[in-house]
Structure 1
Amino acid sequence: MSRTDYLNDPNAPKPNSIRVAVSAIVQDPTGRLLMIRRTDNDKYAIPGGGQDVGETLAQAVVREVEEETGIHVEVTGLVGLYSNPNHVIAYDDGEVRQEFSICFRAQPIGGELRTSNESKEVLWVEPNRLPDLDIHPSIRLRIEHGLSNRAEPYFT
């Protein structure tokens, strides 16, 4: 399935759904950030995805990070809550989703880097290399917030 993100675009399609999503800022001991290159839009992103019925938000982020990257993590904090109604995601099946994502901070506790059906590339990225990557502005904002190590969570 492919997706197109629209941010502050007056010509964006109108949303017809909303779903709880989670993502994670995961840094290794040297400060590198865990990133994926998505299969659905070819952009770099932090790992994440939808919450499943029967799991907590923390369980969802642990599962999503492992599914997309092979890395096992432990949730250590909250980066922010992102629900900008001007950010919609259109899927090729007709779903147009309003953004609703909770971004956590997590630390790696095991596993090995590997790709999945959602990630064509998985890598640890030095923060100074982030400007060179094709990252959607909504994900850049989460990364900026996550790397700032602010005590209070952000919310939009």
Structure 2
Amino acid sequence: MIRRFGAPPDPNRRYKMRPGAYAILQRGPSVLLTFQRQPEPEFQLPGGGIDPGESPIQTLHREVYEETGWHIGSPRKLGAFRRFTYMPEYDLWAEKLCHIYVARPVMRLSEPLEPDHSVVWMDPELAADAVYNDGDRVFLRRYFD
């Protein structure tokens, strides 16, 4: 069974399954987070939703590049968690199935392509406190402990 973080699902609400792939990217003593200003300001692990016909690894490469401008290498899956949330950018209640990887940031190719995203390098302990969801927090702490 995959662990759930956050609020339990509302039994009176329908949720759409939304799988995604997210990365812990360490370089030296820092970890890379994205800061997303809209729709709510928050720090996140870079990554996002898996598109139809796309593998989690393909998604990881695409989403990390779009959100950070970085090319990554050597992804390795650490685990997964679920959370039930409203996604205002899609007007969607979603059951997010979050696949968490660790990967190596290889080369910065550009600025983030996603609007309202910026790259923030942070101490891992501060990063674990800064990310907005408990699942990301648990995986960051587990990885760096």
TM range (shorter): 0.7 to 0.9
Pick closer, same or farther for the CA change 1:13–1:114 going to 2, 3 Å: farther
Q: Counterpart in 2 of 1:17?
A: 16
1:142–1:134: structure 2 CA closer, same or farther, 3 Å change rule? closer
Determine the C-alpha separation between the residues in 2 that align with 1:97 and 1:48: 16
Alignment of 1:1-156 (within 5 A): 7-8=6-7, 14-28=13-27, 30-38=28-36, 39-83=38-82, 87-92=83-88, 93-112=90-109, 114-117=111-114, 119-130=116-127, 133=130, 135-148=132-145
In the TM superposition, what is the alpha-carbon distance from 1:128 to its structure 2 partner? 3.6
Deviation, structure 1 residue 90: 0.6
Contact 2:21 2:48 in 1 (8 A): yes
Instruction: Classify 1:143/1:132 alpha carbon distance in 2 versus 1 (closer, same or farther; 3 Å).
Output: closer
Q: What amino acid is aligned across from residue 33 of structure 1 in structure 2?
A: V
1:53 aligned partner, one-letter code? P
CA contact (8 A) 1:79 1:145 kept: no
- Partner residue in 2 for 1:3: none
* CA gap 1:107/1:10 in 2 versus in 1, 3 angstroms: closer
> Any idea what SS the aligned residue of 1:97 has?
strand
Structure 1 gap ranges (5+)? 1-5, 149-156
Q: Aligned pair in 2 of structure 1 residues 113, 142: CA closer, same or farther (>3 Å)? A: farther
In the TM superposition, residue 24 of structure 1 has moved relative to its aligned partner by 0.4
CA displacement at 1:50 relative to structure 2: 0.8
Structure 2 unaligned residues grouped into runs of 5+ = none
Q: Tell me how far 1:125 sits from its aligned partner.
A: 0.8
Task: Give the SS at the match of 1:123.
Answer: strand
The count of aligned residue pairs is 139
TM-score by length of 1: 0.75
TM-score, normalised via structure 2 length: 0.80
What percentage of residue pairs aligned between the two structures are identical?
Answer: 22
Provide the secondary structure at the position in 1 that maps to 2:127. helix
CA RMSD for the aligned pairs? 2.6
Query: What is the distance in 2 between the residues matched to 1:113 and 1:132?
Result: 27
